[in-house]
């Protein structure tokens, strides 16, 4: 099944504005073709290749087997005497983590703090929209 995406769809998938995606197309960083009607279309394979190249790698000093890293902002922290629930938003993704209160306190996690969620999962469910 081959897919093509309009600029707005590609932008949403990449977590950027449509203007940013247009600039990437205009500069040649993101390949696109024009339809008969003049709309730009991005081939799904080209979009996937661009997304792979745009992924932020771990910092050089960080060595980890986890590949799922989400840079975002902490939006809520709820602490009790032992545990903390930390919510953050990374692009269009809402991430919730349960951790010890001690860890949340040591990291000084509060709303407005930039954080990186690293996910190492043995089970990930993938589905199709719609």
Domains and CATH numbers, the chain: 4-54 (1.10.1660.10), 68-119 (2.40.50.100)
Q: What letter does residue 18 receive in the DSSP assignment? A: H
Q: What is the tens place of the pLDDT at every residue in 22-31?
A: 999 999 999 9
Closest to 105 measured CA to CA, from 87, 79, 73: 79
Contacts of 65 (CB under 8 A, 6+ apart): 120
| Tens digit of each residue's pLDDT (9 = 90 or more) over 13-58 | 888 889 999 999 999 999 999 988 888 999 999 998 888 887 665 5
What the block records as the tokens of 111 is 């709303």
Write out pLDDT tens, residues 74-110: 999 999 999 999 999 887 788 999 999 999 999 999 9
Angle at Cα 94 formed by Cα 52 and Cα 42, nearest 5°?
35
pTM: 0.59
Determine the Cα–Cα distance for residues 57 and 71; give it in Å rounded to an integer. 11
């Amino acid at each position: 099944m081959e897919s093509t995406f309009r600029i707005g769809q590609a932008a949403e998938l990449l977590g950027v504005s449509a203007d940013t995606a247009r600039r990437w197309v205009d500069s040649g960083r993101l390949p696109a073709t024009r339809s008969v009607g003049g709309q730009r279309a991005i081939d799904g394979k080209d979009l996937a290749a661009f997304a792979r190249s745009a992924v932020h790698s771990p910092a050089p000093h960080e060595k980890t087997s986890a590949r799922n890293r989400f840079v975002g902002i902490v939006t809520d922290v709820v602490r009790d005497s032992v545990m903390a629930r930390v919510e953050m938003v990374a692009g269009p993704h809402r991430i919730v983590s349960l951790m010890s209160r001690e860890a949340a306190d040591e990291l000084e996690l509060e709303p407005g703090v930039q954080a990186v969620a690293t996910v190492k999962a043995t089970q990930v469910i993938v589905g199709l929209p719609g």
